[in-house]
Amino acid sequence: MSFHGHPVEVRPAGAREYLFNDRTVEGYRHSLTAGIDRVAARIARTERPFSGTTPDRLAPEISAIDLEKPLNDPAAALTELEDVYLRDAVYFHHPRYLAHLNCPVVIPALLGEAVLSAVNSSLDTWDQSAGGTLIERRLIDWTAERIGLGPDADGVFTSGGSQSNLQALLLAREEACARAAAGTPTPPTRAEILPKLRILASEAGHFSVQKSAKLLGLGPDAVIPVATDRDRRMRPAVLARELDRCRREGLPVMAVVATAGTTDFGSIDPLPQIADLCVAAGAWMHVDAAYGCGLLASRTRRHLLDGIERADSVTVDYHKSFFQPVSSSALLVRDAAALRHATYHADYLNPARMAEQRIPNQVDKSLQTTRRFDALKLWLTLRVMGADAIGELFDEVVDRAGQAWELLTEDPRFEVVTRSQLSTVVFRYLPQDGPGRELADEANLFAREALAASGAAVVAGTKVDGRHYLKFTLLNPETTLADIAHVLDLLAGHAERYLSEQAAPELCRQAG
């Protein structure tokens, strides 16, 4: 076929039916409704947070799918998806999913997710998003205001806490390099500065700090762990000592990372004292509030974050404690000018004249180029439910963690570590006496795995002072104390079974 002498490609009729446009809205409605119905039906009948499947069982099913043979039928693809994904997914909405920092999500955010992926704005430039850019900016301002960062604050949405921490440390590194080069007749080269830069972070801080240091070209000893107190909060006296030592040894402290909600212990570092020390040492203060940011919405616990307003940069993960679907995170900075360290201009995308014309664009502030409009989920959440409602949900899980901690302190089968300021509970099965005490590590590891394999509940594990512990991360207000008590019984049962098998393996095997 030709048109005005040019050959015209004839495509199979089917392919275009899948393009989302004005002619295919009915297909879109049908497909999405069918997908929503499947998920709704699955959620409605999910009795356990996990099926207990193993990689060995599931991998062959996924490998067996012939990706060269499309089904050409969304309903059939959804049926197939039941077997390769939905049946065995780990369900965070379930009240006995108690493992990692994954929250159940709120429906207004799911609505946002559906809208944002269909419209598919990219938040890099105004000409790819228009209002999306302004909505994201409004939410950044809203968050910065809740933190109290002041009139010059700014920030950007990111893919998660790790990326927010990385970007914060990138900005801090650039500021430190500029400081090191300032006022010297023969400024040191970058190659000379980078190996000397140090980051001080709590020993309970997140590993993304170490990863960031590596990505930022710092030396292997760049991150100095600062000891914590009994409550797993950074000890300001130790921080002061380390700052002093770095000064004496000529090692510029590029950033102090305070954690507002450590992953394991939910501990919040003493932010006001850390801020004082950072001011005195001229160090950049970053607060990793990936977990604790939910307190920004709390009407009763906001004071736990006092001092965060003095940070130079803050990480918040809405996908942890604002009940948002992954991904939804942001980096906030006290001084918008610091974001220039992430700015590059491309003629085809964000030429410098755009800034001169005051055309808003977010790519100048971001490590990413094409970027999801994740902010829309938070926008609809605030517009439908409001921040107080989010704060109430988070307060509930913090309350529940306190109750769980009390339950554990009274239970002779378990030993419990520090009481969390947020919603984690770290504990282990520990027989009062007898040989089981020596096998406590193995018994706890076994109990966690056996519980996950049964699918009845999912809990996390961690190490404290070299010993194996179990961890609840409570983020679901639907989790009751009865759920927690039940899971403790299950864990104790698995641990006891392990110990009795160790004590009398033959007898147990015979008993089956």
Binding site for ligand PLP (CB under 6 A): 101, 160-162, 165, 206, 208, 259, 261, 263, 288, 290-291, 317, 329
Q: Which is nearer to ligand PLP, 328 or 350 (CB)?
A: 328
The whole-angstrom separation of Cα 184 and Cα 140 is 37
Q: Tell the smallest beta-carbon distance from residue 165 to ligand PLP (Å).
A: 6
Q: Which is nearer to ligand PLP, 430 or 470 (CB)?
A: 470
The whole-angstrom separation of Cα 420 and Cα 406 is 11
Q: Tell the smallest beta-carbon distance from residue 207 to ligand PLP (Å).
A: 8
Q: Tell the smallest beta-carbon distance from residue 292 to ligand PLP (Å).
A: 8
Give phi and psi for 254, each to the nearest 5: -80, -30
Query: Which residue type does 66 have?
Result: D
Does residue 156 contact residue 331 with C-beta atoms inside 8 Å? yes
Q: Which is nearer to ligand PLP, 164 or 444 (CB)?
A: 164
Q: Which is nearer to ligand PLP, 162 or 423 (CB)?
A: 162
Burial class (CB in 10 A: 0-12, 13-18, 19+), 218: buried
Residues contacting residue 449 through CB under 8 Å, at least 6 positions apart: none
Does residue 328 contact residue 377 with C-beta atoms inside 8 Å? yes
Q: Which is nearer to ligand PLP, 101 or 451 (CB)?
A: 101
Residue with tokens 């282990």: 428
Q: Which is nearer to ligand PLP, 288 or 309 (CB)?
A: 288
The whole-angstrom separation of Cα 267 and Cα 283 is 22
Burial class (CB in 10 A: 0-12, 13-18, 19+), 394: buried
Helix (H, G, I), strand (E, B) or coil at 98: strand
Does residue 125 contact residue 349 with C-beta atoms inside 8 Å? yes
Q: Hey, how many other C-beta atoms are within 10 angstroms of the C-beta on 8?
A: 9
Name the token pair of 468: 């194996």
Q: Tell the smallest beta-carbon distance from residue 103 to ligand PLP (Å).
A: 11
Q: Tell the smallest beta-carbon distance from residue 462 to ligand PLP (Å).
A: 12
Q: Which is nearer to ligand PLP, 316 or 491 (CB)?
A: 316
Q: Tell the smallest beta-carbon distance from residue 235 to ligand PLP (Å).
A: 18
Does residue 211 contact residue 162 with C-beta atoms inside 8 Å? yes
Q: Which is nearer to ligand PLP, 136 or 288 (CB)?
A: 288
The whole-angstrom separation of Cα 292 and Cα 8 is 58
Q: Hey, how many other C-beta atoms are within 10 angstroms of the C-beta on 450?
A: 18
* Cβ-proximal residue to ligand PLP, closest one: 161
Name the token pair of 365: 């502030």
Q: Which of 250, 239, 245, 275 is nearest to 197 (CA)?
A: 250
Q: Tell the smallest beta-carbon distance from residue 359 to ligand PLP (Å).
A: 30
Q: Which is nearer to ligand PLP, 193 or 425 (CB)?
A: 425
Q: Tell the smallest beta-carbon distance from residue 136 to ligand PLP (Å).
A: 18
Q: Tell the smallest beta-carbon distance from residue 13 to ligand PLP (Å).
A: 43
